[in-house]
Structure 1
Amino acid sequence: MLKFLIIFLGVGWLLGQLIRYFLRSKLAQFAKQVNEAAKEQQQAQQRASRPKDSVNVDFIPKEELEKRKKNIQGGEYVDYEEVKE
């Protein structure tokens, strides 16, 4: 009788652990799906809220950024006098 009780408790504990593991994995998958759906919905709202004629640049190549930085040079020095009133 004692042997049966120990085996029964061991199997019950093992099943509890397995159920807990599978529930956690399913909940994690569900949370991931909900997050992805929310992200897609947010992106759709952002696209809908933009004016139709606006331009949106998602990616600027590094080469273009480097060209822009190189083209910026200091301007000419302008000598000025401070005028006191």
Structure 2
Amino acid sequence: MKYIILILCIGWLFGQLVRYFLRSKLGQFAQQVKAAAREEERAQRRSKDEGEIHVDYVPKHYQERSNKDIRGGEYVDYEEVKD
């Protein structure tokens, strides 16, 4: 009978310790996720200035084309449309 009570007490104590450590680790993880989300939001606010364009990726064939000497340009005829 003593062994059963001892095993139950050790099991209960082990469960309490596991619960404590899981809560603390999950709390730390939640704080890290919140901090990362805040930092990402700040970065998005900084990068979205009115009238500016930011390009994240430029394909290789466009990079090669822009590196060549351009001796003029292509004339584009346009017509102004009045509202």
Compute the TM-score of the two structures, normalised by the length of structure 1. Answer: 0.58
Counterparts of 1:42 and 1:26, CA distance in 2: 24
Q: How far did 1:50 drift?
A: 1.6
Question: Does residue 8 in structure 1 map to residue 7 in structure 2?
Answer: yes
Using CA pairs below 8 Å that are at least 6 residues apart, which structure has the higher relative contact order?
2
List runs of 5+ in structure 2 lacking aligned partners.
53-83
Paired amino acid for 1:28: G
Q: How far did 1:52 drift?
A: 7.9
Compute the TM-score of the two structures, normalised by the length of structure 2. Answer: 0.59
Q: Show the counterpart of 2:36.
A: 37
* Count of matched residue pairs: 52
Larger radius of gyration: 1
- How large is the RMSD of aligned CA atoms in angstroms? 1.6
Q: How far did 1:14 drift?
A: 0.1
Structure 1 outlier segments of 4+, above 4 Å: none
List runs of 5+ in structure 1 lacking aligned partners.
54-85
